[in-house]
Amino acid sequence: MSYDYDDQNVFAKILRGEIPNDTVLETAHSLAFNDISPQAPVHVLVIPKGPYVTYDHFSAEASDAEILDYTRAVQAVIEKLGVAPGGAGQGYRLLVNSGEAGVQEVPHLHTHVLGGRVLGRMLPG
Ligand code: AMP
């Protein structure tokens, strides 16, 4: 499998500092920032700093250090925003849209961390 990364996507521009972002946290290999069009009271995007298009691309080709860092960055966002089950936020949803059928708009891997309200069923219909 080969993966084509478009370095003109909006998250690549954020990583290069060409456009601003509302940073929640940053680690060695990951960046988390608030979604520009939030769908819930908590809506954070967590991205790897490396040029990965999708979750399957990242999982196949990222280093162990990047994968560990990214997994822990998602956890750190959940903790920082207080949405873990049992806490005040009472739970969250992780969402990774991938490719055409997944309706991925930005071709740089991002995990949506959604919470702050009861989110409803996973998919409409
Ligand atoms: P997806 O459909 O999974 O590719 O989601 C892309 C997400 O990126 C959407 O929720 C957008 O609101 C969000 N987004 C697009 N541009 C920006 C930006 N400049 N800063 C923060 N979030 C953005």
- Residue 35: inside a domain, yes or no? yes
Question: Secondary structure of the chain: what % helix, strand, coil (to 5)?
Answer: 25, 20, 55
Q: Is 124 domain-assigned?
A: no
Name the strand (E) or helix (H) holding 33. Answer: strand 30-34
Per residue in 58-96, pLDDT tens? 999 999 999 999 999 999 999 999 999 987 778 999 999
Choose the residue to mutate in 37, 42, 93, 112 for probing ligand 1, maximizing ligand atoms within 8 Å of C-beta.
37
Ligand 1, from 6, 45, 47: best to mutate by most atoms within 8 Å of Cβ?
45
Q: What pLDDT, in 10s, does the model give residues 94-123?
A: 999 999 999 999 999 999 999 999 999 988
pLDDT band at 49 (very low <50, low <70, confident <90, very high): very high
CA dist., res. 100 & res. 80, Å (int): 32
Report if pTM > 0.75. yes
Sheet order of strands, 30-34 included:
23-26, 30-34, 42-48, 111-115, 92-95
Q: What residues make up the domain containing 95? A: 10-113
Place of tokens 């080969």: 2
Determine the pLDDT at residue 59.
97
119 domain-assigned: no
